[in-house]
Structure 1
Amino acid sequence: MTGLRIIVTEDDFDLGAEAARLEAGPDTGAVVTFTGRVRDVGGGLQQMQIEHYPGMTERALTDIAKQAATRWSLSGVTVIHRFGHLAPGARIMMVGTASRHRAAAFEAASFLMDYLKSRAPFWKKEVTANGSTWVASRDEDEAALDRWN
């Protein structure tokens, strides 16, 4: 594998630069990227607050990225996740996978997204004018992760 890139940051990221980094591998025939953004589903969202434990979070993301890279013979994996106070519309995260063939890149990206939605050690709180609410894991996210067992 040419690259494993795990970033946990308060800063925004350049999606184009990250995709180009994944494309640089000599065996890379396919690159899949997914970018998650802060949604204001019900209206009135002022911000999303995302917390994590430094060190623990990076280790967990590295472990799952290595599992994906091995399982699908990836040439590259990028996982970027932001924390802090994010406004509606802001980028929260990115998953990128590179492989020789598209099926592996798509499956690995889907696997990583399912993990991030239900198991990654981040805690999210939605803040509105009426107060704040912690975001709980959804049953459908748990079910999606189960398909990889």
Structure 2
Amino acid sequence: MSLVQVRIQAEDFDLSAELARLRADNPKVGAIVSFVGTVRDLNEGASVAEMELEHYAGMTEQSILAIIEQARQRWPVFGALVIHRVGPLKPLEQIVLVAVTSAHRGEAFAACEFIIDYLKTEAPFWKKEQTPDGARWVDARVSDDVALNKWKV
């Protein structure tokens, strides 16, 4: 059994429920690896009161599905789930969940890291932060590009 799902939503998600659903009814699952990204209250030296995420509906989901498919071509993954929130978010709120199931932890860790690294640089999302100096768009980080480059063949 294989489950691949991408959801873009404003609502928060329940990590425990999502992981249970991802592994349900598959006795072959020996590993579940997940990553949850949250809103920080500080970025590039400025206090962040709120972050607003925008996306290109339809294109974003297809982009993430393509990233998951690349991971599934590299590792024997049973299931993969990406939930990415959009809209206004406050510090400490969950932004993204990437979860992967496989028979073994090594493959699950690698696939999960691959998906989040590609998601951070390749998926069409835009972030705007509210700081004491006003609103600002968040540029891509050099560290995200470096993380992505380790997967290039």
State the TM bucket, normalised to the shorter chain.
over 0.9
Structure 1 stretch displaced more, 96-105 or 14-23: 14-23
For normalisation by structure 2, the TM-score amounts to 0.93
CA RMSD of aligned residues (A): 1.2
Is the CA contact (8 Å cut-off) linking 2:67 and 2:115 kept in structure 1? yes
1:26, distance to aligned residue in structure 2 (A): 2.1
Is the CA contact (8 Å cut-off) linking 2:8 and 2:86 kept in structure 1? yes
1:140, distance to aligned residue in structure 2 (A): 1.3
Map of 1:32 onto structure 2: 33
1:21, distance to aligned residue in structure 2 (A): 1.5
Q: 1:60 aligns with which of 59, 63, 69?
A: 63
For normalisation by structure 1, the TM-score amounts to 0.95
Map of 1:6 onto structure 2: 6
Q: Within 2, Cα distance between the matches of 1:6 and 1:22?
A: 12
The 5 Å alignment of 1:1-149 reads 2-24=2-24, 25-41=26-42, 42=45, 44-149=47-152
1:133 partner letter: R
**Residue ranges of structure 2 left out of the alignment (5+ in a row):** none
Count of residues in Structure 1 that have an aligned counterpart in Structure 2: 149
**Per-residue deviation, residues 49-97 of structure 1 (Å, max 9, x unmatched):** 1000100001001111111122111000000100000011110000000
Q: Within 2, Cα distance between the matches of 1:22 and 1:126?
A: 32
Q: Percent identity?
A: 48
Runs in 1 of length 4+ with deviation above 6 angstroms?
A: none
1:81 partner letter: H
**Residue ranges of structure 1 left out of the alignment (5+ in a row):** none
SS in structure 1 of the partner of residue 118 of structure 2: helix
